[in-house]
Chain A
């Protein structure tokens, strides 16, 4: 099935989150506000704007069971939004509750815990705030995970047991912490990550051989395996007490990943296309891209682009030719051309870095569709089963060719 493509804005989409019924979508369009879109047939229309933050909203998460939205921002605050009837009109509106994060740098990433009684906020203050609701005082309180984080925390992901938390950080490490809160959590059962888990226990610390900021982390559905992607263009899959598989890719680094089943991961980033990895404890490999870059796109007819699908390292086409013609012949292909974008359009669906990939539709224990948003302002919903290009070597060639021009 061809991917569903929606252009929400001409600005970057910093973060996106779907409502439980997937008819609404919360996005941050690189501003202080959060827009709630509702689906109207084949279009998305702005239904509401949540304005409370003073600075850029960095991350949004929508709790599927309790229907609450949490937003994190560079203003060092997080808000929990709840849909309530307006006292005057009786209409349902989103009401914010401020969370006392106690951090002195930007909040970078936020995620609800699986039971939705806690959430974690990553921050530039070398700390992760674990927030839980204090019903006596009717506010959200936070407890900070600090040691041994040495730099900005870029991403977090909860273990299904509601206690363990994975974090990827700019100090080039991916870590697994215990975020056990006495007042909220029952004593967790022993997992592969450890059995005694008081708050701030470090259950694991991992790095990619060539280093690089850890942009994204993710637990497998069972929680027994951890995957992380770092800025050295590699993705690592960690089996605690067992092997750590590091797959180097031939194209640009990934920024975001999600598990679609116990043996499959979708990762995306600077390469502008979601790539599927598959494997088990014995080994992992890239199996292809969800984006068929050779397929013609209905919207713009034949897909063209400099670089094309031919060999890499060619300089005589596309941008180079544009400048050479402008210089030697005084010709400008940009102004006179009938299709001005033809030369600068990428072969991928996303026209810029993908910053977020999330599970969209789940059937049984398999994610069958994922959604991506990126710097190009597009929202794309992909069918996970539609993988193009077979072997890893074929993918290498393809990835290389789409990016070198």
Chain B
């Protein structure tokens, strides 16, 4: 029997279908603007890291992080910047740094940790570093933070 009918996108025939874009408020910024901003942040983060201000660097990169469609390049730059910070932080400093973050930034950091774990072999991602941060972040922000990462449609 022909199974092609199983591959028909039935949602296309449903007038009332709920679109991804209706589930969250879109980022009002222009994609090019977002990319510019991400690159500027990369520079600002390097300056902060040079002064070994980890908390400041993390806040810079996590504040207003790019999300939604059409900003893939900005997302990549942001992830790369974030990984630089994660990789340079000494494991003994992590808890204090996380505690100083705002709740919003903690949630965003968790999103990036999962994004990083979903991309094995990409860039200089090291699983043990991400897992170390994940453990410390969960200790501070709880399982609620992980739940929010899963429910939030504003994907970073």
Tell whether A249 pairs with B138 under 8 Å between CB atoms, given A150-B16, A171-B18, A211-B24: no
Q: Which residues of A305-322 have CB atoms within 8 Å of chain B's CB atoms?
A: 311-313
A131→B154 CA distance, assembly (Å): 38
Please name all residues of chain B whose beta carbon is closer than 8 Å to the beta carbon of A312 when the two chains form the complex: 138-139, 142
Q: Quick one: which of A126, A150, A249, A311 contacts B144, CB cutoff 8 A?
A: A249
A59 interfacial by beta-carbon distance below 8 Å: no
Please name all residues of chain A whose beta carbon is closer than 8 Å to the beta carbon of B138 when the two chains form the complex: 312-313, 400, 404
What residue of chain B has the Cβ atom nearest to residue A270's Cβ?
B147
Do residues B139 and A311 form an inter-chain contact, with CB atoms below 8 A? Answer: yes
A300→B135 CA distance, assembly (Å): 32
For B7-30 the 0/1 string (1 means CB < 8 A from A) is 000000000101000111000000
Q: Quick one: which of B16, B18, B139, B151 contacts A232, CB cutoff 8 A?
A: B151
What residue of chain A has the Cβ atom nearest to residue B19's Cβ?
A150
Do residues B151 and A212 form an inter-chain contact, with CB atoms below 8 A? Answer: yes
Do residues B142 and A249 form an inter-chain contact, with CB atoms below 8 A? Answer: yes
CB distance from B113 to the nearest CB of A (A): 14
Tell whether A250 pairs with B151 under 8 Å between CB atoms, given A172-B23, A210-B107: no
A40→B22 CA distance, assembly (Å): 52
A311→B151 CA distance, assembly (Å): 26
Please name all residues of chain B whose beta carbon is closer than 8 Å to the beta carbon of A153 when the two chains form the complex: none
Please name all residues of chain A whose beta carbon is closer than 8 Å to the beta carbon of B16 when the two chains form the complex: 126, 150
A53 interfacial by beta-carbon distance below 8 Å: no
Query: How many chain A residues touch B (Cβ–Cβ < 8 Å)?
Result: 28
In the complex, the number of residue pairs spanning A and B with C-beta atoms less than 8 Å apart equals 75
Do residues A251 and B142 form an inter-chain contact, with CB atoms below 8 A? Answer: yes
Q: How large is the interface on B (under 10, 10 to 19, 20 to 34, 35 or more residues)?
A: 20 to 34
B143 interfacial by beta-carbon distance below 8 Å: yes
A63→B61 CA distance, assembly (Å): 54
Do residues B18 and A250 form an inter-chain contact, with CB atoms below 8 A? Answer: no
Tell me the dominant secondary structure on chain A's binding face. loop
Tell whether A210 pairs with B151 under 8 Å between CB atoms, given A250-B141, A252-B144, A404-B138: yes
B148 interfacial by beta-carbon distance below 8 Å: yes
A403 interfacial by beta-carbon distance below 8 Å: yes
B115 interfacial by beta-carbon distance below 8 Å: no
Do residues B148 and A400 form an inter-chain contact, with CB atoms below 8 A? Answer: no
A155 interfacial by beta-carbon distance below 8 Å: no
What residue of chain B has the Cβ atom nearest to residue A212's Cβ?
B151
Do residues B152 and A400 form an inter-chain contact, with CB atoms below 8 A? Answer: no
Interface hub of B22, B138, B143 (most chain A Cβ within 10 A):
B143
For A389-405 the 0/1 string (1 means CB < 8 A from B) is 00000001001100110
B156 interfacial by beta-carbon distance below 8 Å: no
A213→B18 CA distance, assembly (Å): 14
Do residues B23 and A251 form an inter-chain contact, with CB atoms below 8 A? Answer: no
CB distance from B135 to the nearest CB of A (A): 5
A230→B24 CA distance, assembly (Å): 14
Do residues A252 and B143 form an inter-chain contact, with CB atoms below 8 A? Answer: yes
Interface hub of B18, B135, B145, B147 (most chain A Cβ within 10 A):
B147
Listed from nearest, the 4 A-B pairs whose CB atoms lie closest are A250-B142, A233-B144, A212-B151, A400-B142
Beyond A171-B18, A232-B147, A404-B143, 17 extra complex contacts between A and B, CB < 8 Å: A151-B18, A210-B148, A212-B148, A230-B151, A232-B151, A249-B142, A249-B144, A250-B141, A250-B145, A252-B143, A252-B144, A253-B144, A396-B142, A400-B142, A403-B142, A404-B138, A404-B142
User: B interface vs A, CB < 8 Å?
Assistant: 16, 18, 22-24, 103, 107, 135, 138-139, 141-145, 147-148, 151-154
Pull 18 A–B residue pairs with CB atoms less than 8 Å apart, ordered by A: A126-B16, A211-B154, A212-B152, A232-B148, A233-B145, A233-B147, A233-B148, A248-B148, A250-B141, A250-B143, A252-B144, A253-B144, A312-B139, A313-B138, A396-B142, A399-B142, A403-B143, A404-B138
